[in-house]
Amino acid sequence: MCPNSEEAMKKEQNTEQEFRDVMKECRDVFASKLHDYGASWRILRPSSLTDQLFIKAKRIRSLEQKGVSKVGEGIRPEFIALINYGLVGLVQLQNGFVDEVDMSPEEALKLYDKHADEALELMLKKNHDYDEAWRAMRVSSYTDFILTKIQRIKEIEDLEGATLVSEGIDSNYMDIVNYAVFGAIRLRE
């Protein structure tokens, strides 16, 4: 194996561990909220979930531009929220929304873990192809890309899913999760 291949493998392994660490942090927050509120998010219709993602991403962009938070929470917790709501979005796409909570915390965590594992697998594939390019990007670019993905989701919702050539909502949720993980990693460094 050539030295560059070894270096690339080390970076990818480091990225995988950093991703797993952030996802564990997110899962802990998610599990705590499940304890406190149950799976109350099950009642969210797709448009409401999209709006929740939107306000989180807009807050990040606002804080990036203003440099000051008046409510005390910074940017990183909003990236954590985007990750969790993105995974909730994937659960909702799979199961639909309901009028009353129909899922135990244990069931919710199982589905959360399934989609988190899928996000990790996607990140590893893309990270291989893009060769760790995310590390050289500005954190503010992740925010802009997330906002773009949210806008795409809104358009797909307005089209009732009848796209011609575009990826579906699920792909956009996955990308939101992965960009938010990158933001959380970078803001921890």
Task: Classify burial at 7, counting beta carbons within 10 Å of its beta carbon; exposed 0-12, middle 13-18, buried 19 or more.
Answer: exposed
And the tokens for 56? Answer: 């989180």
- Rounded to whole angstroms, the Cα distance separating 41 from 77 reads 18
- Model confidence over 130-171: pLDDT tens digits? 999 999 999 999 999 999 999 999 999 999 888 899 889 999
Average pLDDT over residues 6-24: 81
Report whether 187 contacts 75 (CB < 8 A): yes
- Model confidence over 51-67: pLDDT tens digits? 999 999 999 999 999 99
Average pLDDT over residues 90-104: 97
> Taking CA 29 as the corner, what is the angle to CA 15 and CA 100, rounded to the nearest 5 degrees?
125
| Per-residue pLDDT at 7 exceeds 80 | no
Report whether 9 contacts 168 (CB < 8 A): no
What integer pLDDT is reported at residue 161 of this predicted model? 86
Percentage with pLDDT > 90 across the chain: 85
